Amino acid sequence: MSEERAPRGGRSGGAGAGGGPAATRAAGAVRVAAAAVTAVAVVTAEALAGEGPLLVGAVPYALGLAALVLAAGRWPRAALLASVQTVIAFRSAGMSDVGWIWPASAAYFLVAAGDGAVRDEAGKRLGPLSRRVPRGLPFAVAVGVLQVVFAANWERYVAGLDGREAVAALGAEALWLALALAAATAWRNGRNWRREEAAGRERAARERAAEARRRAEAERLRIARELHDVVAHTLTVVGVQLRVAVEALDDEPAEARAALRTAQEVRATAVADLRALIGVLRDPGEEPGAMELAPGRGLEGVGDLVEGVRAAGLQAAVETEGDPAGVPAPVALAVYRIVQESLTNAVRHSGGTRVDVRLRYGSDAVRVEIADDGTGTGTGTGAGAGGEDGARARAGGGHGVAGMRERVSVLGGEFASGPGEHGGHTVRAVIPVPS
């Protein structure tokens, strides 16, 4: 909700300050009705109970007070002061004798119903209802007290009434003033509550929309990671096996058939992964973690990944330590995808002959390390911009490293990718295991 502008020229804000065009129109209608009621009430009271002149006294008096009520929409405090001065002037001149307070009731109401807002040290308007202060109410009370005191002195020393008669004449009007100010306060609080309720609904709608966008963005990135890992690994392994099959087709048909069989198995696995992913996309009610439950996409599938690398011509070994039984499915899937992407990069980019996978399962975290003996020249350490990560990104393979880092970051872990201590390239990840 946009901030209301600070009142200018000492304005306290009328009964309809702020709230948009609809609220402005409603406040204008209220002021017109209040002006009409003021004019009719003053003329009627003068005609029924007053002794002053009607056409040259009561009618101009009533029309002047009604005009001041209309002006209160723009200058509420000035209109109240002018209304009080008008009442005093007409009473003092003997042109009216039907009330000191109530003829200006509408002006009192409009000032007391206006609200303001406190400001912080920087001068910024504070919005919550609990911090709003009714700046018009103290002003109206002060003016009302002064008018009552003036009227009491006038009745006592000018009109010649004794103290009892003066109290009787002004007591009812003082009570009327208190009732008008109480009604204005209740009306103002109800209006502000409605404003804050509408603002709360608007904020809640914005927060829901932002949360929906955040969820959509997170799901989009997750799907992008899955697609990259599945497609990149599949194309790499299938490409290697097809090359082996082409080279061995004439001299070693059995080896060619084995390579083609491996390519078919990898393709079938990729198709199953893609179908599961498409199922998540097509079914809005599907749980976001459905892909994580796909069989063979956990720790038990790491051995198959290593076998695929061996079939591609690299020496590969897996070293495990600890018990993987307590590793939850999201962490297991992340470990699987990290190993898969690292092995794919080793086949495509390292130019080495060996890759080692080390998995350590602890009670608090899973530690993953994949090291190859290739000739990569990067110096990156997983920061994301330069080194091996940057070189692979420039070669078109940067999404895989970024995807691994995102997977680990989402699970609250640490990730590094860069040159190994003895050459080659090493990927390390530490993923915490929830207790």
pLDDT tens, position by position, 74-86: 888 888 888 888 8
Query: Does 300 share its domain with 410?
Result: yes
Report pLDDT for 117.
40
Report pLDDT for 50.
62
Query: Between these two residues, 99 and 122, which has the higher pLDDT value?
Result: 99
**Residue closest to 367 by CA, chosen among 426, 309, 421, 418:** 426
Would residue 11 count as lying in a domain?
no
Query: Does 55 share its domain with 169?
Result: yes
Would residue 374 count as lying in a domain?
yes
Is residue 246 over pLDDT 70?
yes
**What is the number of other CB atoms lying within 10 angstroms of the CB of residue 416?**
16
Query: Does 34 share its domain with 168?
Result: yes
**Residue 180 pLDDT class (50, 70, 90 cuts):** confident
In whole angstroms, give the CA distance from residue 389 to residue 378: 7
Would residue 280 count as lying in a domain?
no
Strands 414-419 and 365-372: unpaired
Is residue 428 over pLDDT 60?
yes
- Report pLDDT digits (tens) over 14-67: 454 445 566 677 777 778 888 888 888 887 877 777 666 666 667 888 888 888
Would residue 257 count as lying in a domain?
no
In whole angstroms, give the CA distance from residue 375 to residue 150: 99
Is residue 154 over pLDDT 90?
no
In this predicted structure, which of 74-88, 139-153, 284-298 has the lowest mean pLDDT? Answer: 284-298
Report pLDDT for 185.
86
**Residue 369 pLDDT class (50, 70, 90 cuts):** very high
Query: Does 29 share its domain with 133?
Result: yes
DSSP state of 6: P
Would residue 236 count as lying in a domain?
no
Report pLDDT for 11.
42
Would residue 406 count as lying in a domain?
yes
Report pLDDT for 296.
53
Query: Does 55 share its domain with 159?
Result: yes
In whole angstroms, give the CA distance from residue 115 to residue 125: 13
Burial per residue of 151-174, b for 16 or more beta-carbon CB atoms within 10 angstroms, e otherwise = bbebbbeeeebeeeebeebbeebb
Would residue 284 count as lying in a domain?
no
- CB contact set of 374 (below 8 Å; sequence gap of 6+): 346, 349, 350, 351, 352, 424, 425
Domain boundary among 211, 242, 262: 211
Report pLDDT for 289.
45
Is residue 368 over pLDDT 90?
yes
Is residue 404 over pLDDT 50?
yes
Q: Are 195 and 27 in contact (CB under 8 A)?
A: no
Report pLDDT for 10.
41
Is residue 204 over pLDDT 70?
yes
Report pLDDT for 367.
93
Is residue 297 over pLDDT 80?
no
Query: Between these two residues, 13 and 168, which has the higher pLDDT value?
Result: 168
Is residue 130 over pLDDT 80?
no
Q: Residue 353: which domain range?
A: 296-435
DSSP conformation letters of 298-345: SGGGHHHHHHHHHHTT-EEEEEEES-GGG--HHHHHHHHHHHHHHHHH
Query: Between these two residues, 395 and 49, which has the higher pLDDT value?
Result: 49
Most confident of 101-105, 221-225, 383-387, 391-395: 101-105
Residue-averaged pLDDT of the chain:
74
Query: Between these two residues, 2 and 300, which has the higher pLDDT value?
Result: 300
Would residue 52 count as lying in a domain?
yes
Query: Does 203 share its domain with 309?
Result: no
Query: Does 405 share its domain with 306?
Result: yes
Domain boundary among 211, 237, 254: 211
- CATH code for the domain in which residue 337 is found: 3.30.565.10
Query: Looking at the 3D structure of the chain, how many domains does it have?
Result: 2
Residue with tokens 């609200």: 115
**Residue 398 pLDDT class (50, 70, 90 cuts):** low
**Residue closest to 39 by CA, chosen among 61, 54, 55, 57:** 61
- How many residues are recorded in the chain? 435
**What is the number of other CB atoms lying within 10 angstroms of the CB of residue 44?**
14
Report pLDDT for 379.
35
- Report pLDDT digits (tens) over 315-333: 888 888 888 888 888 888 8
Report pLDDT for 370.
92
Query: Phi-psi bin for 420: left (phi > 0), alpha (psi -120 to 50), beta?
Result: beta
